[in-house]
């Protein structure tokens, strides 16, 4: 009996020690994994076979730049892993297209493990060998991807079209390379010949054909961009060009590389000659945006056309897709007055004015107003459901547009030719003020002393003129601010809200009662709440550090008792 008890205690002790050991080893493994965790921009998940059927094992985490460096060190190039067709590398690994799950699996195992085996036989450090399945197919890889989305913005497009390193493949009238090199990237697909061709004047966004996922006629955007961009960069490097563009993952998808590219883009745009277009397309610099032709029997809307400046906008947005979605068609191609299937049944008015949509005019302008330079005023104006009527007229400029009217309807803007719309837009915008204005210095009080609620604190002296001049300075370089703040009284209305613009707006106490609650106007804050809500709200929105919006003595000193 005693002996059995001892054996039981011994077994229990061994079990506890085993559990502790296992937990310790597991904890140690987690710590080592965390310590060895790598953050890289070249992480590629090899999971192409899932399109051919369910995966037997987890996807492989592949480090592309690491392998590229090893291949170069061995005196080889990209063709060690990629096939070549028509002088260009194929993006897929060791194949032109996916066939069957078994065949693709064999391609990966035969070539990857085969390469590792050859290196191991030579006594060189290499990757996993045959049988080390979980070394590649690791569901809990300790490699963390830091890959940043790579975009082709307007400035980068400008650098590509202006460079002499990428001449056109077409001949001009003189027999030399054509001036524009658009043919090097842009193309259309001929369904009969199954080949691409360049269509001058019809250049469109890459994403108008190449979607996130491949279709029967088009490769995915990722595959198309890698095939086109990387192959071009490789050919430039082979030709000994100075500016070749990146061929490593980190060169496009790494944060540091993207910061360097952004700096070069900014420099290139700054050096651009006057009148240069970042995107050289056939669209006019100015045009009018109007409704499409009403459906048969539908009553037309009396909407004044809105003037739109392509040239001004392309320098203030990253890409054309900031406004357009996939292609470069006019907005009313998909967004009609009633709404179309092509536009997700989003009506034209919504597409232009929806405040929460980044691709609408109003939505985009709202993101600009979120800048701390503007937010002090505009954050406090968010409660307004509809913009002031005067704001509408900044875009929908009044004036006669020469457009023939169809019987019983408004002027038929939809029948106007592009050059006619451009001329009409120029005529409408010629008289529009586009510089922010304020009242004369002598009409702006230097200080405003707020003493109506003096109690625990001294009167507050607000440097009124200094604040006005600072806000005016914040928007002097903004064309958009210039258009919407051309009236000198507009700026005043940020604080003097619900008051007509004038040199001498009414005092706050004219509307806000001294007592905290007025039964006659229950929804209106008292004078103290109005002062603090307006001033503190502004300080918070512009991230003002001195005085902080919670620093009472920063605005009015405490009274001596």
Indicate if 416 and 449 belong to the same structural domain: no
Indicate if 302 and 418 belong to the same structural domain: yes
Neighbours of 512 (CB within 10 A): 21
CATH code assigned at 91 = 3.90.10.10
Tens digits of pLDDT across the chain (561 residues):
444 444 444 544 444 444 444 334 343 433 433 334 479 999 999 998 888 888 999 999 999 999 999 999 999 999 999 999 999 999 999 999 998 999 999 999 999 999 999 999 999 999 999 999 999 999 989 899 999 999 899 999 999 999 999 999 999 888 888 889 999 999 999 989 988 999 988 898 999 999 999 888 899 999 999 999 999 999 999 999 988 999 999 999 999 999 999 999 999 999 988 878 888 667 788 898 888 777 777 666 667 889 998 888 888 888 888 888 888 888 888 998 888 998 999 999 999 999 889 889 999 999 999 999 999 999 888 655 566 677 888 898 877 777 777 766 667 888 888 889 999 999 988 888 889 999 999 999 999 999 887 888 889 999 999 999 999 999 988 889 999 999 999 999 889 888 888 888 988 988 998 888 888 888 889 999 999 999 999 999 999 888 888 888 888 888 876
Indicate if 267 and 309 belong to the same structural domain: no
Does residue 281 lie in a domain region?
Answer: no
Indicate if 317 and 395 belong to the same structural domain: yes
Indicate if 141 and 160 belong to the same structural domain: no
Write the CA distances from 240 to 165, 207, 234, 457, integer angstroms: 10, 31, 10, 74
Number of domains in the chain: 5
Indicate if 178 and 223 belong to the same structural domain: yes
Q: Note down the domain range covering 534.
A: 441-555
Q: Which of 408, 429, 450 is the last residue of a domain?
A: 429
Q: By the 8 A CB rule, do 96 and 90 touch?
A: yes
Indicate if 222 and 332 belong to the same structural domain: no
Q: Phi and psi of 107, rounded to 5°?
A: -60, -45
Q: Which of 128, 145, 162 is the last residue of a domain?
A: 145
Label each residue of 471-509 as H, E or C.
Answer: HHHHCCCCHHHHHHCCCCCCHHHHCCCCCCCCCCCCCHH
Measuring CA to CA, which residue among 261, 281, 259 is closest to residue 159? 261
The pTM assigned to this predicted structure is: 0.78
């Amino acid at each position: 009996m005693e002996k059995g008890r001892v054996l039981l205690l011994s077994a229990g002790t061994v079990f506890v020690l085993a559990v502790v050991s296992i937990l310790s080893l597991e904890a140690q493994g987690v710590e080592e994994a965390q310590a060895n965790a790598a953050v890289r921009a070249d992480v590629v998940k090899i999971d192409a076979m899932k399109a051919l059927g369910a995966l037997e094992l987890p996807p492989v985490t592949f480090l592309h730049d690491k392998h590229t460096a090893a291949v170069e060190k061995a005196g080889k190039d990209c063709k060690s892993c990629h096939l070549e067709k028509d002088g260009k590398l194929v993006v897929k690994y060791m194949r032109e297209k996916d066939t069957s799950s078994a065949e693709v699996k064999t391609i990966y195992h035969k070539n990857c493990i085969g390469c590792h085996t050859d290196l191991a036989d030579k006594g060189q450090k290499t990757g996993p060998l045959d049988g080390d399945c979980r070394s590649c197919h690791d569901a809990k890889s300790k490699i963390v991807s830091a890959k940043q989305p790579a975009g082709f913005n307007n400035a980068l497009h400008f650098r590509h079209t202006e460079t002499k390193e990428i001449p056109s493949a077409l001949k001009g009238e003189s027999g030399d390379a054509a001036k524009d090199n658009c043919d090097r990237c842009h193309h259309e697909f001929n369904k009969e010949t199954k080949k691409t061709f360049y269509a001058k004047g019809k250049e469109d966004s890459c994403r108008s054909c190449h979607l996130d996922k491949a279709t029967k006629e088009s490769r995915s955007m990722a595959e198309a961009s890698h095939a086109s961009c990387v192959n071009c960069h490789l050919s430039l490097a082979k030709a000994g060009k100075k500016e070749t563009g990146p061929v490593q993952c980190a060169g496009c998808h790494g944060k540091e590389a993207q910061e360097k590219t952004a700096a070069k883009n900014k420099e290139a745009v700054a050096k651009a000659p006057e009148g240069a277009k970042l995107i050289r397309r056939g669209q006019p610099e100015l045009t009018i945006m109007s409704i499409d032709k009403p459906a048969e029997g539908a009553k037309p809307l009396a909407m004044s056309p809105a003037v739109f400046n392509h040239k001004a906008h392309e320098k203030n947005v990253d890409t054309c897709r900031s406004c357009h979605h996939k292609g470069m068609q006019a907005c009313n191609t998909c967004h009609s007055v009633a709404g179309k299937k092509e536009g997700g049944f989003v009506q034209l008015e919504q597409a232009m004015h929806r405040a929460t949509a980044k691709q609408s005019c109003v939505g985009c302008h709202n993101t600009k107003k979120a800048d701390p330079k503007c937010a002090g005023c505009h954050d406090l104006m968010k409660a307004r459901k509809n913009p002031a009527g005067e704001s509408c007229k900044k875009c929908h400029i009044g004036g006669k547009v020469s457009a023939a009217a169809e019987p019983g309807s408004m002027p038929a803007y939809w029948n106007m030719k592009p050059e006619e719309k451009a001329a009409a837009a120029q005529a409408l915008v010629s008289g529009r003020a586009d510089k922010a204005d304020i009242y004369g210095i002598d009409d702006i009080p230097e200080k405003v002393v707020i003493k109506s609620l003096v109690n625990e604190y001294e009167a507050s002296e607000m440097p009124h003129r200094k604040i006005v001049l600072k806000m005016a300075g914040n928007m002097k370089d903004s064309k958009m601010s210039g258009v919407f703040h051309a009236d000198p009284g507009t700026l005043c209305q940020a604080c003097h809200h619900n008051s007509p613009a004038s040199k001498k707006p009414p005092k706050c106490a004219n509307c806000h009662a001294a007592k905290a609650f007025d039964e006659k106007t229950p929804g209106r804050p008292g004078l103290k709440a109005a002062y603090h809500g307006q001033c503190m709200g502004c300080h918070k929105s512009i991230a003002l550090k001195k005085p902080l919006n919670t620093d009472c003595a920063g605005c009015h000193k405490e009274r001596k008792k």
